[in-house]
Amino acid sequence: MIIFLIGFMGSGKSTTGRRLSSKLGYDFVDTDEVIIDRYGLSINEIFFQIGEEKFRESETLLLNELIQKESLVVSTGGGMPCHSENMELINANGCSIYLKLSPQALFSRLSPGKHKRPLIKNLNDEELMSFVEETLLEREPLYSKAKHVVGFDTDLEELLALVQT
């Protein structure tokens, strides 16, 4: 089985994914980390030197590789399910879990480390809040195609029970 954690930037996919994978004894993959390794560049550098379009192509390529594997927990980049046919691929090949947070909660979690994320690094507080609200509205229809939708405070035992049903 492959478990895909999806959701907005800052929703806790990597932390949750790591914990879930160690409970299940599965390998863990963070798609951003793999792409960083492949380019030898940070996400900021990839966006600014190579461009978002190439980054999105790399995400789709990587997803196509990952679906060949088994016993894996994947933390996806926040935009991955929203480009190409990625959400369909995710659902056809694994169990998807959407970590759903409110725009306010996302704002609070994203604001302190925003310099690490190219889409928000130059935004002031007001712009960041609008970006989160507007982008979430656009992406929600795709995120909501996940098999399971859970809140940020869902504990590991609940998640385990979900994926084992």
Q: How many residues does the chain have?
A: 165
* Cα dihedral 19→20→22→26 (10° resolution): -150
User: Distance (Å, rounded) from C-alpha 2 to C-alpha 56?
Assistant: 21
Residue 17 lies near ligand S3P (rule: CB under 6 A)? no
Task: Please identify which residue in 2, 3, 5, 9 interacts with ligand S3P, judged by CB under 6 A.
Answer: 9
User: Distance (Å, rounded) from C-alpha 118 to C-alpha 77?
Assistant: 13
> Which stretch in 21-29, 92-100, 115-123, 156-164 sits in contact with ligand S3P by CB under 6 A?
115-123
Binding footprint of ligand S3P, residue count (CB under 6 A): 9
Whole-angstrom CA distances from 74 to 1, 16, 40, 102, 122 are 11, 10, 20, 22, 28
In the bound state with ligand S3P, the residue whose beta carbon lies nearer, of 49 and 161, is 49
Task: Please identify which residue in 32, 74, 86, 131 interacts with ligand S3P, judged by CB under 6 A.
Answer: 32
In the bound state with ligand S3P, the residue whose beta carbon lies nearer, of 77 and 94, is 77
User: Distance (Å, rounded) from C-alpha 142 to C-alpha 145?
Assistant: 5
Q: Site mask, ligand S3P, residues 116-145, x = CB under 6 A?
A: -xxx--------------------------
Q: How far is the CB of 34 from ligand S3P (least distance, A)?
A: 11
Residue 103 lies near ligand S3P (rule: CB under 6 A)? no
**For residue 50, how many C-alpha atoms fall within 13 Å in the half-sphere facing its CB?**
18
| Interacting residues toward ligand S3P by CB under 6 A | 9, 32, 43, 77-79, 117-119
